[in-house]
Amino acid sequence: MKRKIASSKLRSAAFTRTRADHSAELAHDYCELIAELIDEKGEARGTDIALRLGVSNATVAKTMKRFSDQGLVEQEPYRAIFLTADGWKLAEDGRRKHAIVEQFLLALGISSKVAQVDAEGIEHHVSDETLKAMARFLARN
């Protein structure tokens, strides 16, 4: 019965991680997008974020307030949004993972549209070990 108990613990751990991941995922997505907008235009405005994320302005405002409390972004009232050091860390981490996963999927023969969408979903759920294996695979192909 040892195996079953172990696998049950593993499942519960994975599930717990899944739940915790959902909010982290959102933070990653927002920070990645804000970083992109800053690179493109020098600043990230609420409307642009809302438009690209497919979400209302109000939702962005509320989320930005939460993230500001968590120290991920900085913002003056009625002004654009910027990332803190922590925010940049999340953004860079996300970009790195995203790039590896997307390249990996392309190398596997996935079409570029699907690779982009799947990479977005997968990037938040790959461990470092898996990421390294993907990078290794890419290096060999």
- Positions in 25-54 near DNA (CB under 7 A): 26, 45-47, 54
- The contact set with its own copies (CB under 8 A) reads 7-8, 10-18, 21-22, 25, 29, 33, 51-55, 105, 108-111, 113-118, 120-122, 124-127, 129-130, 133-134, 136-137
12 binding DNA? (CB under 7 A): no
- Name the minimum Å distance from CB 99 to DNA: 23
Q: What is the DSSP string of 99-110?
A: HHHHHHHHHTT-
> What residues contact residue 118 under an 8 Å CB cut-off, 6+ apart?
101, 105, 110
Phi, psi of 73 (to 5 degrees): -135, 165
Question: Cα(3)–Cα(6) distance, rounded to whole angstroms?
Answer: 5
| Residues in touch with DNA (CB under 7 A) | 19, 22-23, 26, 45-47, 54-59, 61-66, 75, 77-80
